[in-house]
Structure 1
Amino acid sequence: LFTKSGSTPVMWKALSMLFKDAIAFGEVKAKKEKDLLEQYQKDYPELQVPGIVVLPEGETSKGEVYGGSIKLSPIKNFLKRFAEIDDPDAWNLPELADESCMQAHCGSAALCAIVAMANDKSLTQNKQIIQQVEEGRDDSLFKFAWIDTAKQQKFLKSAFGIVPQDYPQVVVLSMRKKRFATIIGSFSADNIDRSLTRVLRGGIKTAPLVSKGLPKLEGNTKKCKAKPKPKPQAQPKRAPPKQKKTSGGSKSTIGASVQLTSQ
């Protein structure tokens, strides 16, 4: 890691623990080790600060520069190309297999980016493109999921007016407003990312669902569990109000009526 920071980033420490015994981690502090930085930038002109270079074992092996976002998740996925680890938090693109999955993954989302595609040999590659989009965005307004076009043809037609194609199709859905927008153009990370931003800014207009409401996905299964709603916190009991005392030896009792007594 080549960094401008004077201390080791927490993200780098977390990665070193995750890849323990698989990858040796080090860092170059650019401000203090300028000569070493210049040496690496001569060998790797594309190296920026902050930046990462992975050096395989063996002095004759050429290293590889990481040019993506300096965030834990995309860096972790990049490093997985060099070492296999047991990652419990591995990225996953959920499938909207039935209505329970639609509610679980898109029900509470501000916007749901749904990829309609075939479950074929290109599925893994297509998922990786969506992963690049999700991990490269700075906002968290979109929830990403996919639909099997072979199983949900009726839903796709009645909701969005689309039919299965030889290529993936991306639809942005607002369940609350019952509106959607279709992403036009190539199925690439750059185009999808730009298009999602245009949806947010109004550059791509939304339209009401083809049907009056959002139809339910086909199938009677319940493969997804709904997220439990947070339990309301108990409010602390308030102490009863204290009785007010009057001056001059008189007192009042506060209740349904006020009674005054004199000495």
Structure 2
Amino acid sequence: MTRYDLAGRKALVTGGARGLGAGMAEALAEAGAAVVIADVLEDLGKETAQALRDAGATAEFVPLDVTEDSSWEQAVHSVLDALGGLDILVNNAGVEITNLLVDLDPVALRKMLDVNVVGTALGLKHAFRTMRPGGAAGDGGVVINIASVAATIAFPGIAGYSATKSAIDRLTRVAAAESGKLGYGVRVNCVYPGLTPTAMGNQLAVDCAELGLFPSPQDAVEAVVALTPGGRLGRVGDMASAVVFLASDAAEFITGAGLPVDGGMGM
């Protein structure tokens, strides 16, 4: 057994139907964890869970609107029924809406705050209640919040998104402090992914060009690469490997930390 072996662990991945979340769910399953994918995209989420089962993993899907407390309650109950426990929560669900500050859309900003910040905070709430002593799982665990390199750099067009991802960093550190102080036995960390060519990442490049920040989406991508010492965009596997590490016993003395997986862009 290696220290990255997650056999016997039970994981919930929000926003797991596609993109980074799907890659993280797959990596956790490959490391031996049983995985529940939670998303508002029910058909796609079921397909992603089925693909994991076809590959030999234990995987299920549950519907989850991360902005709704009652939806979290139902999703966690479903995870406990399906897997018999909960050891790992990956708070990955998020949205990005590109706006220049001079054209700020308050509706778009509130949506990002609701999904990215409220959704992550509610995930922490229900993870703590489930994993702490006396909870329905009660053996401690790990929460991994997905922030962004946007929390550590100043890039035009993403002020609102950057603010929400910076908030996830602070939520992570306060949650780790509370868990330690109150004896919950739950480690809490976050990951700062760099720009990755998922549907969200590709749309950001298109949006930046449409706002006149770059001549074309390709120019936007090239500007990001030019700011990245690693010399390329991120890959889904880069982010997924970081999640497996933080979920594993190899990271057992790491809590309240933010792990940049951005090729050095945010240094």
Give me the TM-score of the superposition, normalised by structure 1: 0.26
Query: If you compute each CA radius of gyration, which structure gives the higher value, 1 or 2?
Result: 1
Higher percent of residues as helix: 2
Bigger relative CO (Cα 8 Å, ≥ 6 apart): 2
